[in-house]
Amino acid sequence: MEHGIFHFAERIPDTLIFGVLLLTGWFAHVAGEKTGIPRVTVLLVIGVLAGPAVLNLVPAEVVSWFDQITHLALAMVGFLLGESFMGRELKRSGRSVLIISLGEVLAAATFVFAATQLIGLDPVMGLLLAAMAPASAPAATLDVIHQTGASGPLSRTVLGVVAIDDAWGVILFSLLLVVAQALHSDAAPLEWLASGMWEVFGGIALGVLLGFPMAWMTGRMREGEPTLLEASGFVLLCGGLALWLNLSYLLACMALGATVANRARHYKRPFRDIDGASEPFLVIFFLLAGFKMDIGLLPSLGFIGLVYIISRSIGLIGGGMLAASAARADPVVRQNVGWCLLSQAGVALGLALLVEERFPEIGSKILPLVIGSTIIFELLGPVFVRWRLRKAGELAR
């Protein structure tokens, strides 16, 4: 019965695959709540197990969605980072949070690069690993603070730092990516310098340019209630134009978010809309990252991964301590803040995928390394946060 009611399509419909992926995201959320394992870790592990490296349960064409899903997810993440970095909330954070966040970001990148060069790693790969090192996982840290009811100078400082350190990290990544491209290229210095300036400053200019009309339109149709279509349309327009013009779409969308956060009268609603709209894309993004992981490379990357994990940890802990001292923060903050910043998740994976896009050969090695280290940091990071909050005497329960 070729055309009968029980005839099945030869190819699994994309709609069915999307439904399964989204329900897997729901399962990961429930499993994470029941077990205490971060959702990102659950999604990555499911992705690895279902991917071609293990059970090979996923149709090959699914991986071809990856670039588009990555661009969509990271455009939205960039927009959200723009609000935390340059929005009105930052003005309430104070000088101490700014100094600590910048200090730990720079220290993490510096220590990772120095450590990779000491073991003789290619400078371009070392630079790219350093560029990803500062990325953190605010959700994992915030969850511990909220669940435990922690309160005090350390908790307040950590909340402020994790709100903006990913934005510092994206800016540093964009700059180091330009330097890595220069080292990897045979182009004349002036040529790659002009290309790098176009990518970085052009991206920022594009975000600001689109941010003004977006800020003006926010709440025009109904006071205080921009539509999801309006908000997501501007974010994806900005990301798409940046890709088309060879600009940094992460910086462009971040500049868009920063402009809206500072210029719009009803600025909170578009960020809530985009935060909700990004959820399905992020779920698929994490699962696809797991699908792409080549487990066969892990043994050869084991030593490099260990060096990366140790040097990143030293950079964050030491950098946080030094920066807190420079900011004249409370002693309890100086001794503990760096330990509370070790978690690493979505942004780091997104940056690793951008590296794979720009440097396919190097990126194929960096992606499994970052996925492996992300799982470790996601599992251990919250444990360290709880430990240091208890040591600081700030746990309510």
Residue 325 CB burial class (10 angstroms; 0-12, 13-18, ≥19):
middle
DSSP assignment of 279-312 equals HHHHHHHHHHHHHH--GGGHHHHHHHHHHHHHHH
User: Quick one: tokens of 97?
Assistant: 């949070």
Residue 30 lies in a domain: no
Residue 171 lies in a domain: yes
Using the predicted structure, report yes or no on whether residue 339 has a pLDDT greater than 50. yes
Residue 104's pLDDT band (boundaries 50, 70, 90)?
very high
Residue 45 lies in a domain: no
Residue 156 lies in a domain: yes
What mean pLDDT is predicted for residues 180-200? 77
Helices (H) and strands (E) in the chain, counts: 16, 0
Residue 74 lies in a domain: yes
Task: Give the model's pLDDT for residue 6.
Answer: 46
Distance CA 288, CA 21 (A): 9
What mean pLDDT is predicted for residues 172-198? 79
- Domain containing 231 equals 62-391
Reported as a single tens digit per residue, the pLDDT across 35-88 is 877 788 888 888 888 887 778 877 777 777 777 888 888 888 889 888 776 555
In the chain, the number of structural domains is 1
CB 99 within 8 A of CB 305: no
| SS3 assignment, position 182 | helix
Residue 339 lies in a domain: yes
Residue 151 lies in a domain: yes
CATH code (residue 378): 1.20.1530.20
Residue 154 lies in a domain: yes
